[in-house]
């Protein structure tokens, strides 16, 4: 059966010897804008393309303010800093995520708490969050404290896995009830919408990634999305070392970060944004083809969950068990089709093995079964 899967995927991509998991596509003004950037000599953190890229993302997502960063991980870190997450605090997130989510929490000196996901979204479960907060926490002096660790809980960070939106309205209602900041790790979900609203614009702050394997890329890069313009302007100030604007003096008024996206990367991003609608259309067409093929083959293909208009960044199949998963991975990768398992659960990694969790029933089930398959835009 897996031989037919390999043949089909290679046919979709024109029968190459090797099919990558997610390759970038440069079919527009990328070279033109890069040349303009080089000719201008403004190749670092100052230049017209940075501002233009931010404006394009604002217009597309509907956020009030977008702030470009060097990568998605430091965008996550800054989102936590802006949410007043400090050393000794706790942040609730999911164990089924890319490690940047947990690492950014650690950069603040805070501890992650890993709660279960839903099987259909692969993202943080509102039911698990509500159960944890109602049974394992208490409110004191206007703050939420973990009754087991004694630490203050400051924020909740769900992740829109593979571009499939989590149940944001339910999570937001719970966070509002408990006074917790809601930060969306939307690194994988540019072009995804939940109930008509772009992911990353529902919580207080959202974070995008433009790594080389994302739907659009700036080589490396990230973006902060804000519902509040003033907070966005403060974030932009912090990304440039908190330098007070002046023609020649170097005065800094708070602890800042060297997180500003270079103009070169933004030039690439502007060209990529121009083709985003086409990329998304072709990715959805690929997902439809996969859905039909795997359905006929008796293999479960991961569909977008209810209320999610997903970008299908990385397509995935759900196999019967860990043994089937490993056979699928071995046979495809041995025959020129790149596939990969979903991430190792964060609490299984040595640096996070001490962190508090719930039973993680769904996360464990998914870890044993989910495999990503080639998802590059077909041209």
At 229 the pLDDT is 97
Percent of the chain having pLDDT more than 90? 98
- 30-50 mean pLDDT: 94
pLDDT at 353 > cutoff 90: yes
What CATH number should be reported for the domain whose range is 2-27+276-373?
3.90.1150.10
> 30-274 has which fold?
3.40.640
**pLDDT tens digit string along 181-226?**
999 999 999 999 999 999 999 999 999 999 999 999 999 999 999 9
- 297-326 mean pLDDT: 97
At 1 the pLDDT is 79
Does pTM surpass 0.85?
yes
Q: Hey, where are the domains in the chain?
A: 2-27+276-373, 30-274
**pLDDT tens digit string along 92-136?**
999 999 999 999 999 999 999 999 999 999 999 999 999 999 999
- 220-246 mean pLDDT: 96
pLDDT at 46 > cutoff 90: no
pLDDT at 51 > cutoff 90: yes
Give the 3-state secondary structure of the chain. Answer: CHHHHHHHHHHHCCCCCCECCCCCCCCCCHHHHHHHHHHHCCCCCCCHHHHHHHHHHHHHHCCCEEEEECCHHHHHHHHHHHCCCCCCCEEEECCCCCHHHHHHHHHCCCEEEECCECCCCCCECHHHHHHHHHHHEEEECCEEEECCCCCEEEEEECECHHHCCCCHHHHHHHHHHHCCEEEEECCCCCCCEECCEECCCCCCEEEEECCCCCCCCCCCCEEEEECCHHHHHHHHHHHECCECCCCCCCCECCCCCECECCHHHHHHHHHHHHCHHHHHHHHHHHHHHHHHHHHHHCCEECCCCCCEECCCCCEEEECCCHHHHHHHHHHHHHCCECCEECCCCHHHCHHHCCCCECCCHHHHHHHCCEEEECCCCCC
At 45 the pLDDT is 81
């Amino acid at each position: 059966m897996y031989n037919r899967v390999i043949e089909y995927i290679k046919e979709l991509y024109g029968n190459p010897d090797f099919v990558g998991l997610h390759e970038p596509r440069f079919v527009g003004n990328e070279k033109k804008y890069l040349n303009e950037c080089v000719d201008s000599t403004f190749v670092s953190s100052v230049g017209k393309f940075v501002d233009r890229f931010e404006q394009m993302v604002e217009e597309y997502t509907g956020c009030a303010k977008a702030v470009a960063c060097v990568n998605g991980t430091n965008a996550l870190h800054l989102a936590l800093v802006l949410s007043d997450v400090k050393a000794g605090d706790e942040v609730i997130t999911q164990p089924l995520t890319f490690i940047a989510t947990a690492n950014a929490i650690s950069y603040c000196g805070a501890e992650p708490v890993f709660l279960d996901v839903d099987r259909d979204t692969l993202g943080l479960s509102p039911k698990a969050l509500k159960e944890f907060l109602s049974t394992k926490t208490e409110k004191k002096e206007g703050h939420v404290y973990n009754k087991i660790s004694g630490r203050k809980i400051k924020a909740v960070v769900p992740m829109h896995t593979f571009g499939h939106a989590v149940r944001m309205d339910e999570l937001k209602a719970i966070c509002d009830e408990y006074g917790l900041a809601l930060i969306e790790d939307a690194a994988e979900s540019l072009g995804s919408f939940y109930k008509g609203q772009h992911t990353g614009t529902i919580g207080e702050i959202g974070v995008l990634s433009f790594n080389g394997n994302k739907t659009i890329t700036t080589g490396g890069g990230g973006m902060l999305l804000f519902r509040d313009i003033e907070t966005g302007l403060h974030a932009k100030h912090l990304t440039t070392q908190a330098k007070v604007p002046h023609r020649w003096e170097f005065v800094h008024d708070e602890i800042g970060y060297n997180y500003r996206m270079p103009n070169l990367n933004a030039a690439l991003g502007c060209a990529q944004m121009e083709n985003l609608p086409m990329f998304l259309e072709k990715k959805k067409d690929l997902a439809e083809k996969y859905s039909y093929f795997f359905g006929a083959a008796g293999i479960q293909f991961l569909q977008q969950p209810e209320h999610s208009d997903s970008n299908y960044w990385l397509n995935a199949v759900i196999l019967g068990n860990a043994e089937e998963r490993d056979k699928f991975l071995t046979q495809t990768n041995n025959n020129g089709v790149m596939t990969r398992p979903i991430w190792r659960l964060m609490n299984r990694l040595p640096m996070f093995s001490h962190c508090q969790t719930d039973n993680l029933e769904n996360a464990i089930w998914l870890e044993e079964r989910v495999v990503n398959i080639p998802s590059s835009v077909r041209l």
